[in-house]
Amino acid sequence: MSGARFQSIQDYHVAQEAAEREICDTLRGLIDRHLPEAESRIWHGHPVWFLGGNPVAGYSRLKDCIRLLFWSGQSFTTPGLSPEGKFKAAELRLTDPAQIDPGLMARWLAEARDIQWDYKNIVKRKGRLERLR
């Protein structure tokens, strides 16, 4: 499935196995509820939500889990996320829908709105991130 091209988030969800689909459906519902102003689309092969053209949250299927990613998550004060990559992203790996805590998700999503690093212009700035908010 890694080479699959999805036309929509719904196509992405339908391509998942039952447990992963339930995780994806739950995450999408929470993200849409708490970031109603965000634009969502398939970006680099998986669902991502953007504020002002800047990626803030998304998820992807890995070999053994669904990875929830917050692009600026290393700057969040709410605990529970692990650093991911060399920039400011943080993740949570999920293998069961019961692992999703709606209260924590609401807090992380509020922080995703309030704390943003400028990934939209990272190429223009030659890999240097600047804080937006």
User: Which class in CATH covers the domain with range 9-114?
Assistant: alpha beta
Local confidence band at 3 (pLDDT 50, 70, 90 cut-offs):
very low
Query: Is residue 38 a contact partner of residue 51, using CB atoms and an 8 Å limit?
Result: yes
Q: The sheet that has 46-51: what strands, in order across it?
A: 39-43, 46-51, 54-61, 66-70, 90-94, 82-83
Structure tokens at 114: 């309030």
Q: What are phi and psi of 76, to 5 degrees?
A: -70, 150
pLDDT at 99: 97
pLDDT at 1: 45
How many Cβ atoms from other residues are within 10 Å of residue 98's Cβ?
Answer: 10
Query: Is pLDDT at 17 greater than 80 in this prediction?
Result: yes
Local confidence band at 2 (pLDDT 50, 70, 90 cut-offs):
very low
Dump pLDDT digits (tens) for 61-115. Answer: 999 999 999 999 999 999 999 999 888 999 999 999 999 999 999 999 999 999 9
CA atoms within 13 Å, Cβ hemisphere of 80: 18
Q: Which single residue is written with the structure tokens 């988030």?
A: 9
Structure tokens at 42: 């398939």
How much is the pTM? 0.89
Average pLDDT, the chain: 91
